[in-house]
Amino acid sequence: MPLVAERVNKLIEVPDMLGFLFTEKVAYDEADVAKLLDADGRAVVASARSALEGIEEWSTSAIEEALRTRLVDEMGLKPRVAFGPVRVAITGRRISPPLFESMELLGREASLARLADCAD
């Protein structure tokens, strides 16, 4: 709940915000997919997956470091461009709880699988 408290106005919004954590198959928002998972977005997702496969500790800080290093530092992407496609791949929406914390809660296998599903 602390992850979404500032992102929701009513409790009825919480299931939509956190539902991705409790299902194997993500319910993707088609508008968000069309906007962020085009060919460029899918390439970002593939690069994110590649960066995350190599981390040993699946923690918020390790996930953030791996993604920032690969997508922002190495690829030169702005954070919004770098993390938007990854957020949609993981949660199904562009508005969600914090990305790195969400990936830690979701777990390594599920996160990597979702990224693979949305990569090139």
CA 35-28-60 angle, 5° bins: 90
With a CB cutoff of 8 Å and minimum separation 6, the contacts of 107 are 58
Q: What is the pLDDT of residue 13?
A: 65
pLDDT tens, residue by residue, 83-111: 999 999 999 999 888 899 999 999 999 99
* 29-118 CATH: 1.10.10.350
| Separation CA 76–CA 78 (nearest Å) | 7
- The pLDDT of residue 4 is above 70: no
Q: What is the pLDDT of residue 67?
A: 98
- The pLDDT of residue 46 is above 70: yes
| Separation CA 80–CA 50 (nearest Å) | 19
pLDDT tens, residue by residue, 59-77: 999 999 999 999 999 999 9
What is the DSSP annotation of 51-106? HHHT-SS-SHHHHHHHHIIIIIIIT---HHHHHHHHHHHHHSSSS-S-HHHHHHHH
DSSP 22: G
- The pLDDT of residue 20 is above 70: yes
Query: Domain limits of the chain?
Result: 29-118
